[in-house]
Structure 1
């Protein structure tokens, strides 16, 4: 029974370890490996909560540990990836290259807000840090696995990277209500927006592979706005 209680925290630590290894890979210039470790961290992040609910081992320590792991894997690591992408441009002033590091700062603010906001027990207010990290992590993956789309001129564009850093940081701490991918039941009426999101996301992933990830995050925000303004009014 004691071992069972610690399983969720062990999985959370795997999330944290993924982030730490990812940061070392990013500083070595291995941005694809760093991005893959964000995905690994996201998988561990999903399962630590799932296991905690399954074995009824939720605890304040587990909640705090989860946030600390998320700051590293979904805050610092994507910030370092953006920093590396921006640093490929040698003509930028030194200070400009550090703008992406606002991402971990706003990620920490977002996680602190989440931990103390009773409105976010069944949904989210502001973009979740894993969604933001997956969007940023998709950039080096697109250059590696979707080279046929010729998107490098956008991905390595300094203005794009700076705007992405600023816009996503704002969205992290925004007051936009976003639905959570959690099912209390599996009927269509209670989960229609989630099912629509999953169906469209699956089609995008099958069609354009990792290049779909930024579109999926944008879709997530748009459907959340639609959900708040249309679907909830009809319930």
Structure 2
């Protein structure tokens, strides 16, 4: 049935965009890489939306989605960290593998682990357990843009020390597989009651995007983690 394959075709576009993003990042074409990452995120959102609108579902689509996400939201952010580490280590443009920059791909490994866990976890229907891989990718993409565009003179800070990047990689890897519940920006209704955190977060995120542009990508993810952690640790039954 052709209709059943439309969401799968969109998922494969996610994979294509992820591949283009990977090549762009490894060639230092960071703005182009950003564009392909945004396209991959859009395709990742669209495949599920189209599948629901058409009323189709397949196990093949589920497997394809994980494979595409592993590339776009696993390998690509790992490659970004690898490139940033090269700069921090003074090895930018190296024509061979730099082992001190390889820890960037630890994030790729944990992203793959998170995606595998997600497929098996029946608790993640209305929200997430741990940091979603697209959000993780958004944070790293923000760092890439801050460095590439030297946003507010912060470009050198991003690559000032490999230790800072190692710590960020370790923290992100932990958050990906943590048991901290994180809310999904899905509104079942537009009522304030029950959606307070989501509305406040969305408002602040939009304001940050308008005021700080590319810096907002990393800042919004930090805000997302803090809001989710606050909501989790202040629950009366926790």
SS in 2 for 1:190: coil
In structure 1, distance between residues paired with 2:90 and 2:232: 44
Q: Describe how 1:115-130 pairs up with structure 2 within 5 A.
A: 115-130=119-134
1:90 matched residue in structure 2? 90
Contact 2:151 2:215 (C-alpha < 8 Å) held by counterparts: no
In the TM superposition, residue 219 of structure 1 has moved relative to its aligned partner by: 0.8
Deviations 1:123-179 (A, max 9, x none): 10110000001110112222344x351112221121222111111111101111000
Query: Hey, what's the Cα distance between the residues in 1 that align with 2:31 and 2:73?
Result: 15
User: Which residue of the other structure, out of 195, 201, 219, is the alignment partner of 2:199?
Assistant: 195
Q: How does 1:64-83 map to 2 (within 5 A)?
A: 64-83=63-82
Q: How many residues align?
A: 231
Show the counterpart of 2:159.
156
Residue 186 in 1 paired to residue 190 in 2? yes
* Contact kept in structure 2, 1:78 and 1:103, CA below 8 Å: yes
**Hey, what's the Cα distance between the residues in 1 that align with 2:226 and 2:84?**
27
2:143 to 126, 139, 156: 139
TM-score (normalizing by structure 1): 0.92
- The CA deviation at 1:91 is 6.6
RMSD (CA atoms): 1.9
Q: Does 1:6 align with 2:5?
A: yes
8 Å Cα contact 1:154-1:160 kept in structure 2: no
TM-score, reference length from structure 2: 0.91
Give the Cα–Cα distance (whole angstroms) in 1 for the partners of residues 147 and 233 of structure 2: 36
Q: Is the deviation greater in 92-101 or in 29-38?
A: 92-101
The answer as to whether partners of 1:38 and 1:73 remain within 8 angstroms in 2 is: yes
Give the whole-Å Cα distance in 2 for the aligned partners of 1:51 and 1:57: 9
* Structure 1 unaligned residues grouped into runs of 5+: none
SS at match of 2:123: helix
Distance in 1 between residues matched to 2:104 and 2:151, nearest whole Å: 27
List structure 1 segments (4+ residues) > 4 angstroms apart after TM superposition: none
Which is further off, 102-111 or 58-67?
58-67
Q: Which moved more, 1:132-141 or 1:63-72?
A: 132-141
